[in-house]
Amino acid sequence: MWNTEDNFAKLPKIAEEKYGFELWGLIGIIHTFMKQKVTTGSRDDILRVMELVASMRQEERAFLRRLDKLK
């Protein structure tokens, strides 16, 4: 069993080397699909979540740009 507290950052590499599979974080998966799919106005639940996340990220980037201008 892995001690995830000590090896958390190393888990993807260990999983690939030891077991031959790749670990992805959910955000990474969502961003990969968002780049490959047109999600606007979809009735599919997963695609709607991806659309929401993309929208939230755009708002976050705009907010951070405004904060930088205030400095």
Q: What is the pLDDT along the chain (71 residues), one digit of tens a residue?
A: 455 566 677 878 888 899 998 887 777 777 777 776 665 667 888 778 777 877 788 888 899 999 888 87
* Residue ranges of domains in the chain: 24-71
pTM to 2 decimal places: 0.43
Asked if 15 contacts 23 with a C-beta cutoff of 8 angstroms, the reply is yes
Nearest-Å Rg of the Cα atoms of the chain is 17
Our separate counts of H helices and E strands in the chain read 4, 0
pLDDT of residue 49: 79
Which residue type occupies 36?
A: Q
pLDDT of residue 38: 60
Rounded Cα distance between 21 and 23, Å, is 7
Instruction: Name residue, tokens 């009735």.
Output: 43
DSSP class of residue 40 equals T
